[in-house]
Chain A
Amino acid sequence: MRFGFIDIHPIVKMIYFLLLLTFIMLTPHPLILLLYLIALSLYLIRLKGFLEFRKGLRFYLLLSLVLTLINPIFNQRGQTILFTLLNRYFTLEAVIYGLVMAMTFITIIILFQIFNETIDSHSFIYAIGRFGPKSAFLINMALRYIPLIQKRLKELFEIRSLTKSTKKLKQRIKLWGEIIGVIFTWSFEEAIITADSMESRGYGLKKRTSYLYFKWRAKDYLFLVLMFVLSFIISFYLIRGLISFEIYPKMTPLVVDRQNFLAYLAIALISSLPFFIDEKERLKWRNL
């Protein structure tokens, strides 16, 4: 879908992702993380389709299992002892701590996937270019080199595997060394021409401008306002400590009550904002 959230102004989108990232990292709270996780996963499924999402699912489950299990092995703090093994305590608190860690991790991964799907290189460079034009230029150049070098590596491997055996680890390491050497020589050789071509086209004569341009529209401002209002509510609760979650020494009870209900609502809303916008756009198209 090329409309909806994807069509929002790059700077607004960038702020949105930054805010969400901060909130996710600042609230290691199982219920809240679950809210983020559900809302963001739903949106990712909408973007990529369930089949694509399912491909990553196995990795997420494995990762959360490992993170949840590893923490109790090394961490013996906590009051609720589940069992003892080889003179070590295994506590419920440690398991939950591991679980929260895993959830934070996966939520952030999903957030980044959404970022990847909704911000293309132009929006990214435009948004960054506002604050650091030089780094934006550098990123743009790098964007070209990463796939280019990947392609060359593949070609080199194809040829080398013909003449050289790659069975033993030692041979493989040697082959890698060789190939990286060639890539370096090749790139430096090319860089001379690239530099010539850049100079010939006036690079470095003046402070660069950018031709990229994104219009600000009413819906961008609306998104911005909604986002800030919700963020304000969440920050208020965060600072007051009303949605904090302590594990050690004693676990905070997980309840939703009148005191913090609004915070939960705001979080649910802010993380499903992209979903709502897409939905609104979809309805508009159906009515045509």
Chain B
Amino acid sequence: MAQFVIDKLTYKYPRQHSAALRDISFEVNQGDFILVCGPSGSGKTTLLHHLNKDTLKGGKTSGSVKYLGKEFSEIPKLNAISEVGMVYQDPEAQIVMDRVGDEIAFSLENIAMESEKIRVRLAELATYFGIDDIINKKIMTLSGGQKQLINLCSVLALRPNVLIFDEPTSRLDPLAAKEFIKMIHLLNQELGLTIIMSEHRLDEVISYADKVIMLENGEISFCADVTQFAKAASQDKSLREYLPKIAVLDELINGIKVPLTVKEARLLLADKKLDKFGEISRTSIASKELMSAKNLSFAYDYHEGYVLKDMDLVINESSFISLLGANATGKSTLLKCLAGIVKPQSGKIKYQNKKVKNAKDLSDIAYVAQNPVLHFSHESVGEELNIKEMDEYTKYLVDLFDLEKLLDSHPFDLSGGEQQKLAIVLAMQNKPKLLLLDEPTKGLDPQSKDKFAQILKELNKSGVAILCATHDLDFAAENTEDCIMLFDSKIIYQGGLREFLADNNYYTTNINLALKRIEPRCISSKDVLKWKNQ
């Protein structure tokens, strides 16, 4: 018998005209790894909530969700909560307690388990996941990846059979995301848990999944196993974006199988004769210097070491630079320094050929923090932008960033990508020459990310220099020509991104890894398409 049987599920949120889910039917077997994908607002979260022991309040449901042949309303609540567990998107918001141990014990305390038993279970989980050294730490001091792992543990404490994940890695950096996905794969393989997961970033997940369900406007538009999905998606332009970036190599290979991992791609490329990749020219030639820093050093506290040490850097007018580096190497701090939010202890900053004496000299630099919510203070997007007295430039920006239709919405109700766009428009209102972005592509679905990249390029063409801290190498490779790499609180590379990645053997895009032996200069899907069409 199938574990989950979803039959003609339709759901309408209260006070909404159209249904959020329409005629959804599928089955899930014990041990399946199911991927639910689709653009933002396609009903992924709503569907997952339906599978999670009806936690949805209000609204109208028809059709049925049956777990082992029974509706959740027929299963006693106490049994239901130990069958299905759910991990949400935001690592912070689902946490209840102050410390790691308390959080993991939370669910067990709720079902009134005896305290000796809880302690045994806590020890068991902590040992299995290797988190015994942080068990007494405050959750606030942990990284996003660790927080999400704690959330997973606290759900696993109830020993569920099914785990539901709602975009669990969208707020994590790629490395932490990779770790987390591996952990889920392990649970699926070693313990045979059923995994149902919605995700944008399929690069890591897709090779572990069994089945893909594609949602569009609340309906299932595609439902098949992974290899079928890959083949179909490589033909269909709208689905293509959901495949890992490396699938683009199919264009060069034209084989029966679409490569989903570097290994597959290398095997498929091995016996292919390819034309030589032509000359690659830079589209923009370095122009006038806009901003420069010399011997910039910064520490947050007298007792702690330098976060930035003796940094020299140059930002040219209308350049588009990606700021690379692992977590906690000082990317955000460098941006804050250049934006004038924190004052460096030593070093000189020159902006538009003038020495910067205080934060005021940097006041026309636009800075957008990692969390766009920090920039909002009004009830609607219109108020936020002050539309009544909107000038020409703001109108141009609203048009460019496609915010026209959102003017009446509350900034907190926007999707991640829309929030990011709004924050940029707000920061850009007084026509700055330089835009500093901190991880702008975090949590964007592939479609929004492509659109977002196009807008940034447009803005860049109009003469705005952009410095963009990012973990997303594919995004950097497709859109930026220069990069700055931070390591050990120093700048260890500044220059062309292509040369940098071509020379790297580990820290580079998957496409580049697959083509390393054939054409190391090829770093992004754009290059691959250019190669094919030359």
Contacts and interface: CB of A to CB of B under 8 A. Distances in A.
B98 A209 contact: no
A201 B375 CA distance: 33
A87 interface: no
Interface stretch (B83-91, B258-266, B488-496): B83-91
B107 A201 contact: yes
Contacts of B159: none
Would you call the interface of chain A mostly helix, strand, loop, or mixed? Answer: helix
Interface stretch (B19-27, B168-176, B335-343, B520-528): B335-343
Contacts of A140: 97-98, 102
A190 B92 contact: yes
B112 interface: yes
A201 B377 contact: no
Contacts of A197: 86, 88, 93-96, 151
Contacts of B342: 158
B110 A205 contact: yes
A208 B112 contact: yes
A147 B139 CA distance: 11
A203 B155 CA distance: 13
A203 B110 contact: yes
A151 B141 CA distance: 11
A200 B53 contact: yes
Contacts of B115: 209-213
A3 B304 CA distance: 28
Nearest to B122: A211
A209 B112 contact: yes
Interface string B457-473: 00000000000000000
Given A144-B98, A200-B86, A208-B110, A182 B140 contact: no
A183 to B, nearest CB: 10
A178 to B, nearest CB: 5
A196 B88 contact: yes
B475 interface: no
B96 A196 contact: no
B131 to A, nearest CB: 16
Contacts of B281: none
B81 interface: yes
A5 B304 CA distance: 31
Nearest to B363: A162
B99 interface: yes
Contacts of B313: none
Contact of A143 (B94, B98, B371): B98
Contact of B85 (A122, A151, A190, A200): A200
B291 to A, nearest CB: 16
Contacts of B109: 208-211
A186 B413 CA distance: 11
B376 interface: yes
B118 A202 contact: no
Interface string A2-18: 00000000000000000
A171 interface: no
Given A158-B336, A159-B375, A182-B377, A201 B106 contact: yes
Contacts of A122: 99, 136
A203 B336 CA distance: 41
B126 interface: no
Contact of B111 (A155, A179, A205): A205
A201 B340 contact: no
A106 B52 CA distance: 54
B369 A159 contact: yes
A197 B342 CA distance: 36
21 contacts: A151-B140, A155-B374, A162-B367, A190-B92, A193-B90, A193-B93, A194-B93, A194-B94, A197-B96, A200-B85, A200-B86, A201-B81, A201-B154, A202-B77, A203-B106, A205-B78, A206-B110, A206-B112, A210-B109, A210-B115, A211-B118
4 closest residue pairs by CB, A with B: A197-B94, A201-B107, A211-B118, A193-B93
Interface of A: 121-122, 140-141, 143-144, 147-148, 151, 155-156, 158-159, 161-163, 178-179, 181-182, 185-186, 189-190, 193-194, 196-213
Given A181-B377, A206-B112, 19 more contacts: A122-B136, A141-B98, A144-B96, A147-B140, A158-B342, A161-B341, A189-B412, A190-B93, A194-B96, A197-B94, A205-B77, A205-B110, A206-B110, A206-B111, A207-B112, A209-B112, A211-B101, A211-B108, A211-B122
Interface of B: 52-53, 55, 77-78, 81, 85-86, 88, 90, 92-99, 101-102, 105-116, 118-119, 122, 136, 138-140, 151, 154-155, 158, 336, 339-342, 359, 363, 367, 369, 371, 373-377, 412, 427
